[in-house]
Amino acid sequence: MNTLSRWRRLASVCLVSLGATVASADDGMWLLNAPPTAQLQERYGFTPTADWLEHLQKSSVRFNNGGSGSFVSADGLVITNHHVASDVLHKLSSADHDLLEDGFIARTRDAELPCLDLELNVLMSIEDVTDRVNAAVGADLDPAAASAARRAVLAEIEQESLAETGLRSDVESLYQGAQYHLYRYKRYTDVRLVFAPESAAGAFGGDPDNFGYPRYCLDVTFFRVYENDQPAAIEHHLTWNSAGTQEGDLVFVTGHPGSTDRLITMAEMDFSRDVSVPQVLWWIKSREVLLNAYSKTSGEAARQAKDELLYMQNGRKVYDGEISGLLDPALKAMKQAEEERLRAYSAAHPELGAEGAWAEIEAAQAELTDLYARHRLVERWNFNSSLFEKARELYRAPTERAKPNGERLPDYRESSKAQFELSLFSEEPIYPEFELIKVKHHLEFMAMALGSNDPAVVIALGGKAPAERAAELVMGTKVGDVAYRRELYALDAAAMETVEDPMIALVRALDASSRAMQEQVDAIDETKSQAHARIAKVRYALDGDSVSPDATFSLRLGVGTVKGVQEDGAWIEPYTKIGGTYARADLHEQVFPFGLPESWLEARDEVAADTPYNFISTVYSIGGNSGSPVLNRDGEFVGILFDGNIHSLVWAYAYTDTLARSVNVDVRGILEALDSIYDAQELLAEINAK
Amino acid sequence: MNTLSRWRRLASVCLVSLGATVASADDGMWLLNAPPTAQLQERYGFTPTADWLEHLQKSSVRFNNGGSGSFVSADGLVITNHHVASDVLHKLSSADHDLLEDGFIARTRDAELPCLDLELNVLMSIEDVTDRVNAAVGADLDPAAASAARRAVLAEIEQESLAETGLRSDVESLYQGAQYHLYRYKRYTDVRLVFAPESAAGAFGGDPDNFGYPRYCLDVTFFRVYENDQPAAIEHHLTWNSAGTQEGDLVFVTGHPGSTDRLITMAEMDFSRDVSVPQVLWWIKSREVLLNAYSKTSGEAARQAKDELLYMQNGRKVYDGEISGLLDPALKAMKQAEEERLRAYSAAHPELGAEGAWAEIEAAQAELTDLYARHRLVERWNFNSSLFEKARELYRAPTERAKPNGERLPDYRESSKAQFELSLFSEEPIYPEFELIKVKHHLEFMAMALGSNDPAVVIALGGKAPAERAAELVMGTKVGDVAYRRELYALDAAAMETVEDPMIALVRALDASSRAMQEQVDAIDETKSQAHARIAKVRYALDGDSVSPDATFSLRLGVGTVKGVQEDGAWIEPYTKIGGTYARADLHEQVFPFGLPESWLEARDEVAADTPYNFISTVYSIGGNSGSPVLNRDGEFVGILFDGNIHSLVWAYAYTDTLARSVNVDVRGILEALDSIYDAQELLAEINAK
């Protein structure tokens, strides 16, 4: 019965609270160079200063494996989520030593463990380059030519900036291509592991509790960035305030939300509902089944698959939530009303030049419909195989290198080179038996999704049964060997054509048609960008700065308050207590994923059970925000974001704070666990919380 | 590496051993009225007598929930597999008492537990009615009219036979509709549970070991059939021979294989590969993910979902195996050669009238392609909901009852009435919270598979979000209540139109189009039946009786020998020992699904560890054969079939004995477990093994 009323409430959220068109400060993922100053002042009586903004910006860290974090000491100490760190922990583990299972603590700097291929970025500056981009892309170009021109000018800007400043330079496309901002980042690639709890504590409650609340997770991990083999000296880092927060407090979040679909058109939303989300869900669920079954065959198989399985389970909850929302007529009505408002204004103001834009997007989506699954399965998803991915990167490298920088595929541009090589030559372990089942699965999935007569499927299968072909590819390739990868990376395009490795041969056989498909997708995206840029003008004319751009994994500022939630007729308090973890574990008889690790069981009597542990806020967040610091008015660290509740899954399409909440670890819970459970006195001394 | 060579071997099986066109005795699922007498004599020097065949036939039992079994005492004792019994055990369980987890033993007849809706059948006679069926279906009728005529004559034959003999009478369509045989069954519906092991023993090794070998499963359960509240007196029952078998022994299996696709055409095989298997696999895997996630939320949820989850996991392995086989070019080549052989003979012998048959089947499959998913999701799969299924049965009952018997849908014919009502009024528990997640899932799955604008999807969603709609349907309907079902069942069609129950209303809104779709599918099947009947004439002209018909869940005789298998360069002995169970459990640290129950752990020192426990044979079997008795030359019980190894999954399309094996529990293992672990002396006395 509990479940029922939760769903009813979820459905009703959309009906009652999605109607607003003018955003409050809470309803936004704000650019650091365009904060919601007026709304903040109006609602909270708070005005961010330039110093305050700069301090937050430069204390924030982007994890290029897909998350957020922040500096918390002058010696390069960084905090993020355990689940952001988990793929790093997985790569550092082996059959004999499982860092996910066991956790890790370095009690001296010598003991800190170098990560294999982790890059952290800190945003140093933002520059609006919209005019330069638009000037380079002639209005009379067809989409393919416009796309090439745009790619060329973006590469030129990035390369110029890199040469000038030495900083990683990425141009962000904002408002679906209506604005272009140049982001310059300081890169850190010598990153070392300092502390991680056991996954039984960091991911306590596992899949069933994921996107739930109340929660009891110590979802934190500490790293340290090094420069010249010394801890990096960091000017901007966050002070910890051990007083934490109280219910009702204004809080901020700086982080890197990955992707939202707030500003998409109806045609794009229909496409998500009928094409992309269903296809991605099938792919995710099929992989979840595969990984689950493989995990059950042995403890070592479970260890190999654990991180990827957690990732699939998380993705499945996200997309299941999305399809629920996309099928909700209330959401559709809200979206429709918003689109009608824009179209009416556009019709009344032909001088804005947006007429026809919606129809162009609709036509582009229709073209993408036939292409989508094939593009994903052949080009984008890399056969779900690390070996395939590396083979493709190696095969394409000499061809791309030979092109002018601006004509290369994005991964091969000079501005991406450092990260590209870091990843290509990573010593991360690759497990042949695990690759084998994944490649076999991909071959079968492709054949089922595209039909066994699809030309790419015929090439992929190579006239063999899937199991036999997977064995030939995985056991036959040498690209698992870093030395061999370095050897191939030195070849020119002509030499690459003669390499006899079976995985390279597969990539080669697919390459022409796969590239052609990518170009077709790029042209469609270009058409959409241009149309969106015209729609954006209508929106500005109507709403001005009151709407933030969709998330793009660039730094954003979120705003909200600590607030409980009325759910199923009961009030859920905003804070959980650390002692509640033991109670929940006992309720589930300490059985996975509710079994606590030894360290916690031993410390049971020492832990101050009443310490606030996790809490919720109304801050707008989404995947990629994981690990974002939660800050008080003074810009002090009072927690770390790690999840949203189940109601937050509609946030991809619309903001509401009736039931949706972000979920965070409280600063007080972290300090108490470090002290009473892990006895991490060195870490506590370094953090030096006030 | 183990996995790799297994796959390579699997692939090579098809290459080396599928070429034969004339079947040996082992290569068949033989009709009891057409046993492979010549082949048995030639290969094994064995000739079955009429008495021997009758004894086996009448000792064999069909479990109408989808399995096989046999009588093993004169007092109605029946043995089958634990996994055949598991849905019965699940229905008899509650939150407080889990028969799957705990097992069950009735030490007196009074303690035997009545099952809720289990029907067992014993085949009493077979009569060839092909001529009568063909005479009734005029050659000049179009497919729809032919289908109606065929349905009418089948119903007429069945009803006539039921009235005459009082026996359940089903006409089996054999050789894809080339022959029709009337099967008469004695029905038993008062079935009581006698003994079931804990699922930790009955399904030891769970999903990872499923379709594997070596194995260690006590996959047995005993029931007793009653008549007039007394144990039924059974003339034909099997004698147990406690000497068991030895490697190389000839063995027989009588059981009810569900479905094979040996005689399908290339067009039908392509359809399986490109349409039906992919769509069924998506459905199964999506449900597996749902059930797994639900199971993790609480112990009670896990109990509710357990039986269905096991079923999905099993189905996933079966269909994953099928798609692997269907994508194997060796299997395709074999099939192609066989089809060319038939077509060449057909072309040379136009008097057989088979010309054009293959093209007609191909056209029929093409028509089915667009219909398949929709037919399954709207009509066949009943929204994955017991409540929906019962609502539909109730809604259709008065309309169908009002028709002449021969025009009714099969479930509503007089010959099916008893079983239909047994199931409709079953007291099996229905869990609203479990139904809720399943109906929500089905609504979302339908929308994704068919598109949200599909008319059936629009009706199903009723203008609401999936969660909201599922809540309305599941919490609003009263069909979960048996008394209400009896009330509705008494209504006539006009009264049924006014019933306001939301689930009935949904069924009503879908009914016209859903029925129309079923009629279209029936017409396609009819076209195929007619074409197959013509192809069958070609096959008979070429091969005579040497080919058995595809499986149809009717009684069949299988033949083979006890034989180990050479796999991965190692010889796997045909027998495992009961003591090996403890070793395997210890290897996996007694963790699920390898944890042994208390009863086994306590008896560890008493069990004769060397007792043969499970064994493999070359007998051809498939799903539905589960629970089939394994018999020696004297027709004595020497084991019970419960699985095939992973290589047997190609048996749906072709027989091979290079690597494929059936997997059985040995009679000696059963006796030892009953004695030393369960101290089931009453049962042992009744079985009275020689």
- Which tens digit of pLDDT belongs to each residue from B170-204? 999 998 888 999 999 999 999 999 999 999 999 99
Taking the CB of residue B418, how many other CB atoms lie within 10 A of it? 14
Percentage with pLDDT > 70 across chain B: 97
Which of B414, B423, B367, B364 shows the shortest CA–CA distance to B393?
B423
Provide the ipTM.
Answer: 0.90
Give the contacts of B94 (CB within 8 A, at least 6 positions apart): B429
Which of A110, A122, A118, A108 shows the shortest CA–CA distance to A85?
A118
pLDDT for A178 equals 84
Classify residue B569 as exposed, middle or buried by CB count within 10 Å of its CB (0-12, 13-18, 19+): exposed
Which of A230, A220, A183 shows the shortest CA–CA distance to A72?
A220
Q: Which residue of A1, A4, A13 is the best one to mutate when testing the B interface, meaning the one whose CB has the most B CBs within 10 A?
A: A4
pLDDT for B8 equals 28
* Contact between B323 and A471 using a beta-carbon 8 Å cutoff: no
CA dist B306 and B299 (Å) reads 10
Q: Report the pLDDT averaged over residues B598-615.
A: 97
Specify the DSSP element, H or E, that contains A683.
helix A681-687
Helix (H, G, I), strand (E, B) or coil at B665: strand
How far A302 CA sits from the closest chain B CA (Å)?
12
Q: Above 50 in pLDDT, residue B609?
A: yes
Contact A28, A620 (CB under 8 A): yes
Q: Above 80 in pLDDT, residue A602?
A: yes
Whether omega for the bond prior to residue B593 falls within 30 degrees of 0, making it cis, is yes
Give the contacts of B368 (CB within 8 A, at least 6 positions apart): B271, B275, B521, B524
pLDDT for A107 equals 95
Which pLDDT band, with edges at 50, 70 and 90, does A540 fall under? Answer: confident
Is residue A9 less than 8 Å (CB to CB) from chain B?
no
CA dist B36 and B558 (Å) reads 10
Residue located via tokens 């499923």: B210
Lowest model confidence (mean pLDDT) among A132-136, B73-77, B231-235, B260-264: B260-264
CA A414: distance to chain centroid? 23
CA dist B94 and B8 (Å) reads 46
CA dist A70 and A58 (Å) reads 9
Helix (H, G, I), strand (E, B) or coil at A197: coil
Lowest model confidence (mean pLDDT) among B22-31, B89-98, B110-119: B22-31
pLDDT for B23 equals 57
- The single-letter DSSP state of residue B36 is -
Domain edges within chain A: 2-119+189-262+547-687, 123-187, 266-541
How far A527 CA sits from the closest chain B CA (Å)?
25
Tokens of A90: 């997985």
Which of A605, A609, A612 shows the shortest CA–CA distance to A245?
A612
How far A656 CA sits from the closest chain B CA (Å)?
17
Which residues on A lie below 8 Å from B432 (Cβ)? 1, 4
Q: Above 90 in pLDDT, residue B533?
A: no
Closest by Cβ to B465, choosing from A3, A328, A432: A328
Q: What is the dihedral of CA A366, A372, A373, A374, to 10 degrees?
A: 110
The long-range contacts involving B143-149, CB below 8 angstroms and separated by at least 24 positions, are B143/B523, B143/B524, B143/B526, B143/B527, B143/B530, B144/B519, B144/B522, B144/B523, B144/B526, B146/B526, B146/B530, B147/B522, B147/B523, B147/B525, B147/B526, B148/B407
Tokens of A30: 């704000």
Whole-model pTM: value is 0.90
Closest by Cβ to A327, choosing from B282, B466, B471: B466
Say what angle helices A386-401 and A482-489 make with each other, to 10 degrees.
20
Express each pLDDT in A182-209 by its tens digit. Answer: 999 999 999 999 999 999 999 999 999 9
pLDDT for A617 equals 98
Reported as half-sphere exposure (CB side, CA atoms, 13 A), residue B280 has a value of 20
Give the contacts of B67 (CB within 8 A, at least 6 positions apart): B80, B81, B83, B84, B256, B624, B626, B627
* Contact between B208 and A278 using a beta-carbon 8 Å cutoff: no
Q: Report the pLDDT averaged over residues B245-273.
A: 95
* Closest chain B residue to the Cα of A281, Cα to Cα: B286
Percent helix, strand, coil in chain B, to 5, is 55, 15, 30
* Closest chain A residue to the Cα of B469, Cα to Cα: A8
Tokens of B659: 């690597």
Contact A562, A210 (CB under 8 A): no
Q: Report the pLDDT averaged over residues B619-623.
A: 95
Express each pLDDT in B316-369 by its tens digit. Answer: 999 999 999 999 999 899 999 999 999 999 999 999 999 999 999 999 999 999
The long-range contacts involving B19-24, CB below 8 angstroms and separated by at least 24 positions, are B19/B334, B19/B337, B21/B338, B21/B341, B21/B543, B22/B543, B22/B546, B23/B546, B23/B547, B23/B548, B23/B655
Tokens of B395: 């809604």
Contact A626, A587 (CB under 8 A): no
CA dist A28 and A33 (Å) reads 14
Specify the DSSP element, H or E, that contains B356.
none
Contact A538, A249 (CB under 8 A): no
CA distances from residue A571 to A213, A445, A566, A615, A661 in whole angstroms, order as listed:
12, 45, 4, 14, 14
Is residue A275 less than 8 Å (CB to CB) from chain B?
no
Total H helices, total E strands in chain A: 26, 21
* Contact between A327 and B593 using a beta-carbon 8 Å cutoff: no
Closest by Cβ to B324, choosing from A285, A293, A444: A444
Residue count of chain A: 690
Which pLDDT band, with edges at 50, 70 and 90, does B572 fall under? Answer: very high
Express each pLDDT in A611-620 by its tens digit. Answer: 999 999 999 9
Percentage with pLDDT > 70 across chain A: 97
* Closest chain B residue to the Cα of A467, Cα to Cα: B7
Q: Above 80 in pLDDT, residue B86?
A: yes
Is residue B278 less than 8 Å (CB to CB) from chain A?
yes
Express each pLDDT in B108-165 by its tens digit. Answer: 999 999 998 899 999 999 999 999 999 999 878 888 888 889 989 999 999 999 999 9
Chain B residues 457-496 with a CB less than 8 Å from chain A? 461, 463-468, 470-471, 475
pLDDT for B143 equals 81
How far B272 CA sits from the closest chain A CA (Å)?
10
Q: B529 versus A435: which is more confidently predicted? A: A435
pLDDT for B178 equals 84
Lowest model confidence (mean pLDDT) among A3-7, A266-270, B420-424, B662-666: A3-7
Class of domain B2-119+189-262+547-687: mainly beta
CA dist B432 and B479 (Å) reads 11
Q: Above 70 in pLDDT, residue B62?
A: yes
Express each pLDDT in A243-290 by its tens digit. Answer: 999 999 999 999 999 999 888 999 999 999 999 999 999 999 999 999
* Contact between A4 and B452 using a beta-carbon 8 Å cutoff: no
Taking the CB of residue B166, how many other CB atoms lie within 10 A of it? 11
Taking the CB of residue A482, how many other CB atoms lie within 10 A of it? 14
